């Protein structure tokens, strides 16, 4: 009798394991399908672009072609200039990204901490958010400096207000029951921030990080259009001024590639942080 019961238990466990394995396999297949579809879309787009340019269905002077862009990339890699421009823009973007994200997070915490301050500054934050940062870039660069510092401040200024508003909204919308519970145990405001507010907003923080990558690149490219003598933005501007549209398209392609790498790194980091 005991052996029969034991066999039934083993059989049930085996069935659960098979069902769970089937579920994991379905998730894996879905991920592979999505990844394959993403790659296929890119490959088909490049193939259609090359075909249209080769058969004169589009103007090669205006749109260039993947083969011409690839050849230009190889040329710039061989003489080392691509790495020089890419490293300049990447360092500016990373600096602007961290500056905008950290300052925005600190301001959001400050507004959450002092409720009256948040009410006082609310209309000013809305006004600052509505201002066109790219149009104000020349003034920002004049204030911050005609170089690396000016470009970094321009990149940070585009993302800092968005970061502040997004995170502050998340902070004040945390379930009040959790805060009340901690207060009944004698928790102070810093403990509430550390134990409830920040952990509850980890998904929002990671979403802000992914958005700020793109915003920082926008600020850097705009800044390089104005004052830089090196960088991806400089290459795009130089190519447009000299009607070398292959150079412009190469700059756009490289910009999209490095931005995608940074985005996927942020997505990978988000999975690790949320899992932890």
Confidence band of 141 (pLDDT split at 50, 70, 90): confident
Longest dimension (CA), the chain: 89
Average pLDDT rounded to a whole number, residues 70-95: 84
pTM of the model: 0.76
Confidence band of 210 (pLDDT split at 50, 70, 90): confident
Percentage, residues of the chain above pLDDT 90? 4
Q: What is the per-residue pLDDT across 159-209, written as a single tens digit (0 to 9) for each?
A: 888 888 889 888 888 888 887 888 888 878 888 888 888 888 888 888 888
Quick one: pLDDT at residue 221? 86
Q: What is the per-residue pLDDT across 3-52, written as a single tens digit (0 to 9) for each?
A: 444 444 444 444 567 777 777 777 888 888 888 888 899 889 888 988 88
Percentage, residues of the chain above pLDDT 70? 94
Distance CA(216)–CA(202), nearest Å, equals 21
């Amino acid at each position: 009798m005991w052996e029969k019961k034991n066999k039934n238990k083993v059989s049930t466990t085996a069935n659960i394991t098979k069902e769970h394995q089937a579920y994991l396999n379905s998730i894996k297949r879905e991920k592979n399908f999505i990844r394959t579809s993403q790659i296929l879309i890119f490959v088909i787009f490049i193939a259609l672009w090359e075909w249209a340019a080769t058969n004169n269905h589009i103007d090669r002077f205006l749109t260039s072609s993947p083969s011409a862009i690839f050849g230009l990339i190889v040329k710039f890699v061989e003489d080392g200039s691509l790495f020089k421009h890419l490293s300049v823009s990447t360092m500016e973007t990373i600096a602007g990204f961290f500056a905008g994200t950290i300052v925005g997070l600190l301001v959001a915490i400050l507004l959450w901490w002092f409720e009256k301050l948040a009410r006082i500054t609310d209309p000013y934050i809305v006004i600052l958010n509505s201002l066109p940062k790219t149009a104000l870039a020349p003034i920002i660069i004049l204030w911050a400096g005609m170089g690396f510092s000016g470009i970094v401040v321009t990149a940070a200024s585009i993302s800092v207000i968005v970061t502040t508003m997004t995170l502050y909204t998340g902070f004040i919308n945390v379930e009040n029951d959790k805060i009340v519970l901690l207060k009944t145990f004698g928790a102070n405001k810093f403990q509430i921030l550390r134990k409830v507010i920040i952990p509850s907003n980890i998904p929002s923080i990671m979403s802000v990080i992914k958005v700020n990558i793109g915003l920082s690149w926008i600020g850097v490219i705009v800044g390089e259009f104005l004052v830089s003598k090196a960088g991806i933005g400089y290459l795009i501007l130089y190519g447009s001024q000299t009607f070398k549209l292959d150079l412009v398209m190469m700059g756009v392609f490289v910009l999209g590639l490095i931005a995608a790498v940074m985005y996927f790194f942020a997505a990978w980091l988000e999975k690790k942080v949320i899992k932890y």
